[in-house]
Amino acid sequence: MSLNKKSVDDINVKGLRVLCRCDFNVPLKEGVITDTNRLTAALPTIKKLIADGGKVILCSHLGKPKGEPKPELSLAPVAAKLSELLGQEVKFAADAEVVGPNAKAAVEAMKDGDVVLLENTRYRAEETKNGEAFSKELASLCDVFVNDAFGTAHRAHCSNVGVAELVDTAAVGYLMQKEIDFLGNAVENPVRPFVAILGGAKVADKLNVISNLLEKCDTLIIGGGMAYTFLKAKGYEIGTSLVDDEKIDYCKEMMDKAEKLGKKLLLPIDTTITKEFPNPIDAEVAISVVDSDKIPADMMGLDIGTKTAELYADAVKSAKTVVWNGPMGVFENPILAKGTIAVAKSLAETDATTIIGGGDSAAAVNQLGFGDKMSHISTGGGASLEFLEGKELPGVAAANDK
Ligand code: AMP
């Protein structure tokens, strides 16, 4: 997949109607936005389009209205908040059908530099099916399309793919550009040594990621719940630890693949064990640390051990590029977060380019206070995983090449 995409810096939008797909999927509580991060993150692209004299028409989905206008998932509160953040009016086009009389009139009346926000694109059932009619309606509103919503880039919907195919110019915004630069280019063309770290609950969730990263990286580090299936594949007793029995052969294949490719595949050499899974998840638990081949039959591994944490931190020290997806243990519990903290700390301390996949890993890094020490924290969970799998992302592919 070409990752050399036309960006908002490469186009001239003066006097043109620009439809900009943003990620305004913000958390709402009784109509009040509880976290405005996604809105502030969208501002640089919006401001650039305003400064260039475009007529800026914003659109996004919010939650899952499943093709019906649900008032509690209206983007009206986003328009109000964005007006505040931008310091200029963001006119809200309240059409249940998204592209309706209000949207058309509002766009018709726009002057250069004005901003309009359309209603939740998922009010339309065609949106998530990439239906042609809705894509055409969106395209009829604009001359140029800009996609700045990475979170949905792994999906082909009307508002990110359908519409892009119907306009002459489809570019990416700054947020998308940053995701492409870090996740795409770093993985496809990394400065070496390239160390990839994978954790999280299950091997099955990350089959393709493991396989693809093994080809691209120099060292692949495995931690978290998925490590125990690898340890079982090595013939170790893993007690009552999390295991994907159906994936044992797959783990063996991956170990063979690493050997054939001459790649280092690091597995935990020791592990933090408990009698039971903590309930609630942050309850106090009694732990001990044993070598990975000495897990008693009635105990479960819930974090990497201290020697492993050192081994992994050392591997990170020698890297020039590090990609991390998935916690090393049950990080929600402070007693079982030590391995994840040690790895996060090693990433925070290195000069290497450090890239955190979205979802749980991003949450873990932020929650542990290391967020601002990373080169890039992806904003898309599913989309970042698919990038790491080496898949073509429809939302990225739909943008014009430079
Ligand atoms: P994922 O969504 O695949 O990234 O998995 C994240 C979840 O994996 C977190 O909620 C962790 O608590 C959980 N996890 C990490 N290590 C283990 C483990 N050894 N056993 C069970 N769950 C784990």
- Residue 358: pLDDT over 80: no
Q: Give distance in angstroms: CA of 285 to centre of ligand 1.
A: 16
Q: Given CA atoms 391, 396, 400, 402 in this order, what sign does their dihedral have?
A: negative
325 pLDDT more than 70: yes
Task: State which ligand 1 atom lies nearest to the alpha carbon of 241.
Answer: 20
DSSP helix/strand/coil, 326: coil
Residue 381 has pLDDT above 90, yes or no: no
Q: Quick check: 370 and 344 in contact, CB under 8 A?
A: yes
Instruction: Write the pLDDT tens digit of every residue in 93-145.
Output: 999 999 999 999 999 999 999 999 999 999 999 999 999 999 999 999 999 99
Does residue 224's CB lie within 6 angstroms of at least one atom of ligand 1? yes
pLDDT band per the 50, 70, 90 thresholds, residue 1: low
Give the position of tokens 């090449």: 401
- In this prediction, residue 71 carries a pLDDT of 95
User: Mean pLDDT over all residues of the chain?
Assistant: 95
Distance CA 155, CA 130 (A): 9
Residue nearest to ligand 1 atom 10, measured at CA: 330
* Nearest by Cα to 308 from 332, 338, 284: 338
Query: Model confidence over 340-357: pLDDT tens digits?
Result: 999 999 999 999 999 998
Average pLDDT over residues 249-267: 98
Element (H, E) at 132: helix 132-140
Q: Report the b/e string of 239-260 with b at 16+ CB within 10 A.
A: bbbbbbeebbebbeebbebbee
251 lines ligand 1 (CB under 6 A): no
d(CA 347, CA 367): 15
The pLDDT, as a whole number, for residue 374 is: 96
State the closest ligand 1 atom to the C-alpha of 206, by its place in the atom list counted from 1.
Answer: 3
pLDDT at residue 120, as a whole number:
98
Residue 5: beta bridge partners? 401
Q: Is the pLDDT of residue 393 over 90?
A: yes
Count other Cβ atoms within 10 Å, centred on residue 270.
Answer: 21
For the Cβ of 226 lying below 6 angstroms from any atom of ligand 1, the answer is no
Ligand 1 neighbour 305 (Cβ under 6 A)? no
Exposed/middle/buried for residue 91 (C-beta within 10 Å: 0-12, 13-18, 19+): middle
How far apart, in whole angstroms, are the C-alpha atoms of residue 348 and residue 354?
8
Q: Is the CB of 349 under 6 A from ligand 1?
A: no
Nearest to 77 by CA among 115, 44, 119: 119
The rounded Å distance from CA 327 to ligand 1 centre is: 6
Ligand 1 closest atom vs CA 301: 19
pLDDT of 2 strictly over 80: no
Q: Do residues 359 and 389 touch, judged by C-beta distance below 8 A?
A: no
Select from 400, 397, 339, 366 the least CA-distant residue to 154: 397
Q: Mark out the alpha helices in 146-282 (DSSP H runs).
A: 174-179, 186-188, 207-216, 227-233, 248-261
In terms of pLDDT, which residue wins out, 45 or 367? 45
Structure token pair of residue 266: 């690091």
Please name the residue whose Cα sits nearest to atom 6 of ligand 1. Answer: 200
Average pLDDT in the 191-203 region?
94
Nearest Cα residue to atom 21 of ligand 1: 225
327 lines ligand 1 (CB under 6 A): yes
Q: Please report which confidence band the pLDDT of residue 363 belongs to, taking 50, 70 and 90 as the band edges.
A: confident
CA angle 284, 288, 294 (to 5 degrees): 140
Assess whether pLDDT exceeds 90 at residue 301.
Answer: yes
- Are the CB atoms for 296 and 274 separated by under 8 Å? no
Which positions are annotated as active-site residues? 38, 202, 359, 382
Q: Are strands 219-222 and 264-266 parallel, antiparallel or unpaired?
A: parallel
Cis before 327 (ω within 30): no
Q: Residue whose CA is closest, atom 12 of ligand 1?
A: 330
Q: Give the residue from 26, 17, 133, 142 showing the smallest Cα distance to 74.
A: 26
Q: Which atom of ligand 1 is nearest to the CA of 360?
A: 4
Instruction: Name the 3-class secondary structure at 374.
Output: coil
Tokens standing for residue 135: 């894509």
* pLDDT per position as a tens digit, 19-63: 999 999 999 998 899 999 899 999 999 999 999 999 999 999 999
143 lines ligand 1 (CB under 6 A): no
- Residue in 330, 333, 338, 340 to alter for ligand 1 test, most ligand atoms within 8 A of Cβ: 330
Counting ligand 1 atoms within 8 A of each CB, the residue from 242, 243, 247, 272 with the most, and so the one to mutate, is: 242
What band does 240 get if pLDDT is binned at 50, 70 and 90? very high
State whether residue 308 is helix, strand or coil. helix
Atom of ligand 1 nearest to the CA of 332: 12
Ligand 1 site, residue 268, Cβ cutoff 6 A: no
**C-beta 326 within 6 A of ligand 1:** yes
Tell me which of 52-66, 142-156, 177-191, 281-295 is least confident.
177-191
Scan for tokens 């692949």, then name that residue: 220
CA of 302 to the centre of ligand 1 (A): 8
Ranking 9-18, 81-90, 354-363 by mean pLDDT, the lowest is 354-363
